[in-house]
Amino acid sequence: MNILLTGGTGYIGSHTAAVLAAANHQVVLYDNLCNSQASVADRLQTITGKTLPLVIGDIRNTLLLTDTLKTHQIEAVIHFAGLKAVGDSVRDPVTYFDNNVAGTLSLLQAMQATAVKTLVFSSSATVYGEPQYLPYDEKHPTRAMNPYGRSKLHIEEILADLATAHADWRIACLRYFNPVGAHESGLIGEDPEGIPNNLMPFVARVASGALPRLTIFGNDYETPDGTGVRDYVHVMDLAEGHLAALESLGKGSAPIRYTNLGTGIGVSVLELVQAFKDASGQDIPSVVSDRRPGDLPAYYADATKAKQELGWSATRTLADMCQSTWHFQVCAKQRAN
């Protein structure tokens, strides 16, 4: 199948590109490079042995998108492109809604103009908000708690209306939990600019000596060891989830589906730090501070629906996630020197 990946040079997009190319799909990357680099396309060529065309452009450029869909005879789109920093979205909601929501509308216009009706959308567990029960299943009420989360929820609502109006569309909204880890090659992974916001990249930088210590945001939560609990899922498992979602869309009769992609296992900050110490053999100094505003104590997925409907479940362990992150970190440091 000819598949367009918006945000294809980003973290999750690039890993999904590697999985799709290995499954003999023709992948086209589309990215404005606001949070990734064009060199990712070259690395994907090294990994896959195939040339993956990269179109450098913004998803709000409807004409360029339409032209790209036509030129490459695209049959399905996986829509990763978006801004994802929660703090930035609180400071600058207009930019977030413009990029994420208006960008998606532009994509949908281009798809309608070219009769491409199969779409996989990168949603997030953040749409659920404060847990009314755990694990979150897909029937859990949605109530996003910040502009980033609301941008994902608005997009899901737009897609639901589209599916109601046009029953011949096939749309999968994949609600990711906490993607971490990297491709085994060490060539692609998560490499945030500046100081990372998220736990795993922060821990990796402390282990490498690039940052002096981890600050643990609170150890007085009502969790087994007092630190925050999340459902970390290996990015390669997640990438395989996209392939499974695409395949299942071809078979299913519902125009839209919502599916959690997580492991179903909650891991605390202290557990993740210990696993990273074990994987890297490095010390990870840490201090405990106050809770981070807006953080939830614990959340994790009910992964049953993904197994039933997509035939997908995560297979990689926390140790795999830490080892691959560390390998990528070491390789990135070598490349920089």
Which residues does the annotation mark as catalytic? 148
Residue range at the interface with ligand UD1 (CB under 6 A); choices 13-21, 66-74, 103-111, 213-221: 213-221
For residues 230-289, which are near ligand UD1 according to CB under 6 A?
230, 269
Smallest gap from residue 110 Cβ to ligand UD1 (A): 27
36 binds, among ligand UD1, ligand NAD, none (CB under 5 to 8 A by kind): ligand NAD
242 binds, among ligand NAD, ligand UD1, none (CB under 5 to 8 A by kind): none
- Contact flag: residue 241 with ligand NAD (CB under 6 A): no
User: Taking CB positions, which residue lies at the least distance from ligand NAD?
Assistant: 10
- Contact flag: residue 307 with ligand UD1 (CB under 6 A): no
- Contact flag: residue 149 with ligand NAD (CB under 6 A): no
Residue from 12, 55, 214, 273 touching ligand NAD (CB under 6 A): that is 12
Site size for ligand NAD (CB under 6 A): 27
- Contact flag: residue 11 with ligand NAD (CB under 6 A): yes
- Contact flag: residue 219 with ligand UD1 (CB under 6 A): no
Taking residues 80 to 109 in sequence order and writing x for each that binds ligand NAD by CB under 6 A, - otherwise, the string is: xxxxx--------------x---x------
- Under the phi-then-psi rule, with left for phi > 0, alpha for psi from -120 to 50, and beta for the rest, what region is 17? alpha
- Contact flag: residue 18 with ligand NAD (CB under 6 A): no
Residue range at the interface with ligand UD1 (CB under 6 A); choices 55-63, 103-111, 194-202, 242-250: 194-202
241 binds, among ligand NAD, ligand UD1, none (CB under 5 to 8 A by kind): none
List C-alpha distances in Å: 83 to 74, 101, 136, 229.
Answer: 24, 10, 24, 24
Residue range at the interface with ligand UD1 (CB under 6 A); choices 97-105, 159-167, 292-300, 320-328: 292-300
CB 17 within 8 A of CB 44: yes
List C-alpha distances in Å: 287 to 52, 117, 186, 270.
Answer: 44, 50, 29, 11
25 binds, among ligand UD1, ligand NAD, none (CB under 5 to 8 A by kind): none
- Residues engaged in binding ligand UD1 (CB under 6 A): 86, 124, 126, 148, 178, 197-199, 202, 214-217, 228, 230, 269, 292, 294-295
- Residues engaged in binding ligand NAD (CB under 6 A): 7, 9-13, 31-36, 58-60, 80-84, 99, 103, 122, 124, 176, 178-179
